[in-house]
Amino acid sequence: MRKKLIAGNWKMNNTPSQGAALIADIKETADKASCDVVVCTPYICLPAAVKAAEGSKIAVSAENMHFEDKGAFTGEISAEMLKEVGVTYTVIGHSERRQYFAETDETVNLKTVKALANDIIPIVCVGESLSQRENGVTFDFIAMQVKLALKNISAQDAEKVVIAYEPIWAIGTGKTATDEQANEVCAFIRKTVKELYGENTANTMRILYGGSMNAKNAAGLLAQSDIDGGLIGGASLKAPDFCTIINAATNA
């Protein structure tokens, strides 16, 4: 059985002190949970988040990472910098990074390779737009994103990768894929990984749903066969809602 993973993606929200307070509010629930719990914070919040999570089961993730070790990349952060702070995960290729900051399939792959080389677990995001879904190319598009993201990555390393399926049309819109729609694509991602690496890697890799999962719909989504957790946006900023989702993963 794959261990469920609930990751809260704060995006550009919370100061360091606000983030530390939020972690304090979810710590008890996270420590009792049978799932893994991760908070993905803005760079400036990372040291405070690591300190606040100390001694708990909560892991801390960056929301992005550069693929070079160092250099003239103003405003960027390297894997080595993240490791020294105590970060163990990083989000890669979120749809907002792709849409607003020119993230490409190539840079997603480079970042994934670099994260793995530094023992940082990448949460790699894939997902289709509304027009792609309406035009029937969802599966072709998702397969391409998955294959390009995992280029030059061994089966052993691929097992460490977490893939988050986040339909772009369901992020921040209030729209959510039905439980069955979400599971169908997550199962397809697993099938794609199986074609690349074989059954063992496909059955080991954790695949999350990241399209507006919240306290009300989490239980249904997390009960699906191929949804191994959630990448949570807005609901992760409210301790009661995030704790409800953590508990839903524990009970799934």
User: Domain boundaries in the chain?
Assistant: 5-65+76-251
Dump pLDDT digits (tens) for 210-249: 988 999 999 999 999 999 999 999 999 999 999 999 999 9
CATH T-level topology, domain 5-65+76-251:
TIM Barrel (3.20.20)
Catalytic member of 94, 96, 103, 128 = 94
The H or E element containing residue 46 is: helix 46-53
- Tell me which amino acid residue 86 is: G
Residues of the chain with pLDDT under 50: none
Residue among 184, 243, 173 at smallest CA distance from 209: 184
SS3 of 10, please? coil
Q: Which residues pair with 61 in a beta bridge?
A: 40, 89
Site of tokens 């999570």: 53
166 among known catalytic residues: yes
pLDDT at res. 169:
81
Catalytic member of 63, 96, 103, 166 = 166
The whole-model pTM stands at 0.96
pLDDT at res. 170:
76
What dihedral do alpha carbons 23, 229, 115, 67 form, nearest 10°? Answer: -90
Kindly give the pairing relationship between strand 58-62 and strand 5-9.
unpaired
